[in-house]
Every structure is written in C-alpha cells, then in structure tokens.
Amino acid sequence: MLMARRFYQHMVPMLLVCVAVPLLLGAEFWAKKPYQHWSPEETQRILAESPWATTLSLGGVENVPTGSNASTAQVNPAPRGQSGAAGDRGEMETNPTISYNLQFRSAEPMREAQVRSSQLSAHYDAMSAEQKAAFDANAAKFLAVKFSDRVVVSVTFHSNVQDYESQLRAYWGRQSVPTLSMSTFLDAGKERLSLMDYSFKENTFQFAFPRPKEVTPDEKIGVEFVHPKISRVGQQRVLQEFSLKKMLVNGEPAF
C-alpha cells in the first residue's frame, strides 16, 4: 500500500508535465511568453491578423474576402496586391481599393500589443532606468482599465487613392450614434447589441457596444456596419465574424 501511494505521488506530477508540454508547444506566441518579449513581427500580427483583429480590402468588383477572418465577411472585396500607385482620383487606378482594419481594443492581448508597439517605437531597451519606470507606470495604468460593461472595436481605414481617404474622413467624421444606430451592431450568440458610443479621429473610428450577457466559446462574435459609397467602391454591408474559441485567454473569451 505504501509503495502504491509513493508510485502515485511520483507519477501524477510527471503525467501533468507530459500533458502540459504538448499543450504549450501547440500554443500561439501570446500564450507562451509575456508581451514584453513579443517581436515586432509578432506584435504587428496581433494588430493586423489575429483572433482579435483582421484587415478587409473592399473594391468595386466581387471577389473572395481576404484576411484570416474574412471568410465570414459579407462584402464585395477586391484582392490585395493588384492595385496601382496611389493617385488623387479613383479613375486613375485600375483597381482602387479601401481597407478596414478591425481590432477589439477592449481585449487584453490587443491592449498588450498596443503597449508593446509603443515600447518598440520608443526604443524601450535603450531608455534609462528612470525613463523605463515612467513608461512602465503609464503602461500599467493603461492595462489596468477594465471593460466590464462594454466592448470596444476600433476600425482604421486606408485607400490607395488619396481622394477616397478624404471622402472617408468626411463621411466617418460626421457620423454619430443616432446616424449609425440602425446599421451598426455587435452580434454575439443570440444577442444583437446596438451601438452605445462612437468616436472618430484621423483615419480611425471607434465603436462601443454593451458587453454581451452570456457567450460560449463555441459561438462567434460579429461586428456589423455599412461602408458608404466612395466613387467606384460602392456601398457595402460589412459583417465580420470572429471565433470566440480562438479568442480564449485563461480559458475565457477575451474581447
């Protein structure tokens, strides 16, 4: 009996290690190491194409959506890498495009990526001890903010036509919660949540929605809005879905 107990006490920790190692090896970098150690490429991946972000390209022709999450986007996108040099008028482009980068800014990994991006831009490793302490204090305050009652989605737009960007800034700059309330939603499971706050700055607009009451990892969360007609790129409804199962942090969906 004593030998059996000792065997059990010895083997259980070994089994736990054996199970944990394969799980760790299969995990993405954001689960393997703290954000302070993310490379520039890894940080950019979080911000551009990850479980919490994706980039869509829209054009005047129907095609297959691009981006890691784009298979669920209901848009008329144009394929990437086929446009010419930037011009002042859409007619100068053989394939004028507009891209939208969507980010769940209330998600912890996304906020950590923002801090890491700031570290890299500010050459954090070359800072003095005092400068690092000040930076770390500001980062801690930023990361400490909780979003218990809302979900924040940031959308940044770009175009290979300068005039298109000007038109987009004019359009999104004059929008408000009342003007967007009938076309902008957060779809989470069985809930369709209406816009509660909106802001705009330069080439970025930001939506805030009430946080869903209950979601499961098997469900999806979707951001819905309408892209306006901009010259040759017509009005298009965007419904971009994200897999909650891929957004897990410590076993819970992070958004």
pLDDT for residue 5 is more than 90: no
pLDDT for residue 40 is more than 80: yes
pLDDT of residue 93: 57
28 token code pair: 């993405």
Domain ranges of the chain: 1-28, 33-253
Q: How far is CA 82 from CA 67, 118, 123, 188, in A?
A: 15, 32, 35, 34
Residues 6+ apart with CB under 8 A from 107: 52, 247, 249, 254, 255
152: how many CB neighbours lie within 10 A of its CB? Answer: 20
| DSSP E strand boundaries for 138-219 | 150-159, 185-188, 191-194, 197-201, 204-210
Task: Give SS3 for 17.
Answer: helix
Task: Give SS3 for 30.
Answer: helix
Confirm if 253 and 149 have CB atoms less than 8 A apart. Answer: no
pTM: 0.78
CA 74 – CA 243 distance, rounded (Å):
16
Task: Give SS3 for 245.
Answer: helix
The per-residue pLDDT for range 47-87, each reduced to its tens digit, is: 999 999 999 999 865 433 444 454 344 444 333 333 333 34
The per-residue pLDDT for range 107-156, each reduced to its tens digit, is: 999 999 999 999 999 999 999 999 999 999 999 999 999 999 999 999 99
